[in-house]
Amino acid sequence: MADFFNEFWGWYVAVITVLAILGCAILLWSQSRQKLKVDADGKVRDTTGHVWDEDLTELNTPMPRWWMGLFYLTIVFAVAYLVLYPGLGAYGGRLGWQSGGAYKAELKLADAAYGPLFDNYLRQDIRQVAADPQAHAIGERLFLNYCAQCHGSDARGNKGYPNLADDDWLYGGEPSVIKETIMKGRNGVMPPMGAALGSDKDVENVAHYVMSLSSAPADPIKAVLGKDKFGACAGCHGMDAHGNQALGAPNLTDKVWLYGGSPETIMETVRKGRNNTMPAWGEFLGEGKVQVLAAYVYSLSHPQGAGGEARARDARDDGMAAQ
């Protein structure tokens, strides 16, 4: 891609643009000079050769003058635009306008209008912001714009994308941790363990042992055989398989699965590993918006008001049913 960022391509675009405009102008000029050919008796003999109903002949006549005038105006407009605004390769235009500059100007106006609001939320505790109805509405719109593509509009995730409406967290569900996740992003890596465990049979046995930890249907003999082999996984998930939030290693004793809890899926995870990336939003959104967004995400698993616990329980049940 570096080849596209040199002077040649600027000149290339400029030349192509100028030639296209000149070509249109020459075509219009040539058509403007076309005249009808008539016989001595005054009949037009310049036709396209198309005849319908024996005597209905299509004449080869030039376009109307007013129509030609409109085309000439488009050429004049194009030339004026390219003189004033960017369009001819690297030439920036006499007015010095840039789309990036316009975007920054809009951001500056938005910061002037909404900056104090986000600064006010930034001074508050995230739990306090989560209880604010206005902040909740703003956070919801931010979530729908920037997070719903992966986590879903209802925040209940999808295969490979965590459910944010339950209370099961890879790195921890404290407000400060949620904010750090949004600000800096995460890069979760589950290394492939097929070679470390030995054979495919060992992988299968470990998968059944992992399933037995959450009381999922599993072959008891394979689970017993897989328990010893699970020691290779204990470095991240712990000997009790409760996970390690410092590493983002999930708890394997619950019924919450990021990719699914079937034997085939667990075996695939153990054999090939997983690699997930949560992008960092801090630089793009700014800390004030991240504060509000983190408060909204926190509120999804900590609903406020009457019936809040029931809604949280329903979200957890829905998340488990979706796995």
- Residue 100 in any domain: the answer is no
> Is the domain of 151 the same as that of 292?
yes
Neighbours of 218 (CB within 10 A): 19
Domain count within the chain: 3
**Per residue in 44-69, is it b (16+ CB within 10 Å) or e — as a string?**
eeeeeeeeeeeeeeeeeeeeeeeeee
> Is the domain of 164 the same as that of 308?
yes
pLDDT at 91: 86
> Is the domain of 291 the same as that of 171?
yes
Phi, psi of 174 (to 5 degrees): -65, 145
Per the CB < 8 A criterion, the answer to whether 213 and 304 are in contact is no
- Residue 314 in any domain: the answer is yes
pLDDT at 210: 95
Q: State whether the Cα torsion 145-146-149-152 is positive or negative.
A: negative
Indicate the Cα dihedral angle 114, 118, 121, 123, nearest 10°. Answer: -120
> Is the domain of 293 the same as that of 173?
yes
> Is the domain of 163 the same as that of 302?
yes
> Is the domain of 204 the same as that of 261?
yes
Cα separation of 157 and 164, whole Å? 7
> Is the domain of 171 the same as that of 294?
yes
- Residue 89 in any domain: the answer is no
- Residue 297 in any domain: the answer is yes
Cα separation of 287 and 179, whole Å? 9
pLDDT at 311: 45
- Residue 23 in any domain: the answer is yes
Token pair for 87: 């369009």
Cα separation of 104 and 126, whole Å? 29
> Is the domain of 304 the same as that of 246?
no
- Residue 296 in any domain: the answer is yes
> Is the domain of 172 the same as that of 161?
yes
> Is the domain of 169 the same as that of 233?
no
pLDDT > 70 in the chain, percent: 88
pLDDT at 193: 94
- Residue 96 in any domain: the answer is no
Could you give the C-alpha distances from 309 to 86, 90, 272, 321, in angstroms and in order?
A: 57, 59, 38, 18
Per-residue pLDDT of the chain (323 residues; tens, 9 = 90+): 445 566 788 889 899 999 999 999 998 888 777 666 666 666 656 777 788 887 787 777 777 888 889 999 999 999 999 999 998 888 888 998 888 888 888 988 988 988 999 999 999 999 999 999 999 999 999 999 999 999 999 999 999 999 999 989 999 999 999 999 999 999 999 999 999 998 999 999 999 999 999 999 999 999 999 999 999 999 999 999 999 999 999 999 998 999 999 999 999 999 999 999 999 999 999 999 999 999 999 999 988 643 344 444 454 555 444 44
Range of the domain at 51: 2-84
- Residue 90 in any domain: the answer is no
Question: Could you identify the residue written with the tokens 């809604």?
Answer: 311
Token pair for 127: 């739990």
> Is the domain of 199 the same as that of 210?
yes
The CATH code of the domain that includes 304 is 1.10.760.10
Three-class DSSP labels, the chain:
CHHHCCHHHHHHHHHHHHHHHHHHHHHHHHHHCCCCCECCCCCECCEEEEEECCCEEEECCCCCHHHHHHHHHHHHHHHHHHHHCCCCCCCCCCCCCCHHHHHHHHHHHHHHHHHHHHHHHHCCCHHHHHCCHHHHHHHHHHHHHHCHHHHCCCCCCECCECCCCCCCCCCCCCHHHHHHHHHHCEEEEECCCHHHHCCHHHHHHHHHHHHHHCCCCCCHHHHHHHHHHHHHCHHHHCCCCCCECCCCECCCCCCCCCCCCCHHHHHHHHHHCEEEEECCCHHHHCHHHHHHHHHHHHHHHCCCCCCHHHHHHHHHHHHHHHC
Cα separation of 193 and 180, whole Å? 29
Q: What do you get for the CA distance between the two ends of the chain, in Å?
A: 41
- The candidate with the shortest Cα–Cα distance to 259, out of 206, 305, 207, is 207
> Is the domain of 269 the same as that of 145?
no
pLDDT at 65: 84
